[in-house]
Amino acid sequence: MEERSFATAGVALGGVALASAGLPWDAAGAGPVENVVLAGLGAAVTAAFSLRRHGLLAAGPGGLLAGVASLAVVGHAATAVGGVAAGVTSPLGVALALIGGVGGAVAAYGDARGIPDRTGAAMGSFARGLGLGFAGLVAISAWTSVAVSLWAAVVPGEIGRLQQLVVGSVALGLGTATVALVYFGATDREWSYVDVRAPDLTDAGYALAGVAILLGLQYLLTVAFGQLGITTASHSIERAARQGNHELLLWLIPTAFLVIGPGEELLYRNIVQKSFYETFSERGAVVAASVVFAIVHVLAYLSPDVGATLATLSVVFVLSLVLGVAYRRTGNLVVPIFIHGAYDAVMFGALYLELAGQTGLV
């Protein structure tokens, strides 16, 4: 019997691209479909893979049709990147469209040409890890909507962009915890799977060294990019702080230790990276998890200058390697949580002092 697992995966990925057409887009829509062109392309991907899955199309023609439609989804979503950066198009919609399109293209190739078992297993593992990462974004977005609604009901006046991001940082913990609970339930794992224990002297050494290395790398890469004339994109929180009430940055300092660090490290290290150990070497798992970590941060750093966004994501990837190595060496999630929290807290504090100095507050 012909193996059609890639076609099955393609149906799901085509569905993701099709579903993204229902989110807000700066494009022609019809009824609940906000982007008719994208809906048509997503439907073409889904239909092609469905025909392949049921044996109604041969591997060559079916893979070609699905691949061309998937690449068209990618191209269509890519044209909307500038709109996302300008706040016109739904960032989540673009992200889902890109996932469906890129994933569909890979699935089409695998379905048409075949992929060695080991490579296929690694690709499947990476796809699941990336799916977990984006599931975290969806859960965070949902919890942010709830939190913003509660804020609006309690606090008088219109909530500003920076306030939304501060509330969103709290929702991050709820979102990642939600994904962790679903993951544990789906895989029959218990909370003992979470690698948390009281740190010993070795853990403390890695934690302190990790903070120093992260800050040092951040400085060196900033200087290097400046010398090379490479521009970078700023985080959405930084952009909002420069336009609004920067005093809210002070709230983010404890949040970095209590919510952001624990939430992101639980998901991207203890779940995603640890799951990669089953199909990658430990070093390969660190690299793969760092790629996922960088990709899911694309929305936070998205700007009209695609080169600046890519340069910044390369920095995020390098910094994530440090967190991944610290987790791999110690096997204690507390270590990367502290490193991550301390790094973010320093960044928030430095930005606050910079902005406060410009306004004469310090």
Distance CA 231, CA 45 (A): 36
Distance CA 35, CA 80 (A): 11
DSSP, res 304: S
pLDDT at 4: 67
* 3-state class (DSSP) for residue 251: helix
Contact (CB, 8 A) for 110 and 120? yes
**What b/e sequence results for 289-319 when a residue is b if at least 16 CB atoms lie within 10 Å of its CB, and e otherwise?**
bbbbbbbbbbbbbbbeeeebbebbbebbbbb
Distance CA 35, CA 18 (A): 10
pLDDT tens figures, 161-197: 667 777 878 888 889 989 998 999 888 888 889 999 9
Contact (CB, 8 A) for 59 and 112? yes
- The DSSP line for 133-201 is HHHHHHHHHHHHHHHHHHHHHHS-SPPPHHHHHHHHHHHHHHHHHHHHHHHHHHHT--GGGS------H
Tokens matching residue 362: 């310090």
pLDDT at 23: 81
pLDDT at 1: 37
Tokens matching residue 288: 């793969």
Distance CA 330, CA 22 (A): 44
Average of per-residue pLDDT values in the chain: 86
Backbone angles phi, psi at 232, to 5 degrees: -125, 160
pLDDT at 83: 72
Look up the pTM and report it: 0.78
Tokens matching residue 190: 């218990």
Work out the end-to-end distance of the chain between its first and last CA atoms, rounded to an integer number of angstroms.
73
Distance CA 325, CA 335 (A): 10
pLDDT tens figures, 31-51: 678 888 999 999 999 999 999
pLDDT at 205: 97
pLDDT tens figures, 204-253: 999 999 999 999 999 999 899 888 888 888 887 887 778 777 787 888 89
Ranges under pLDDT 70 in the chain: 1-4, 31, 82, 84-88, 115-118, 120, 161-162, 359-362
pLDDT at 86: 63
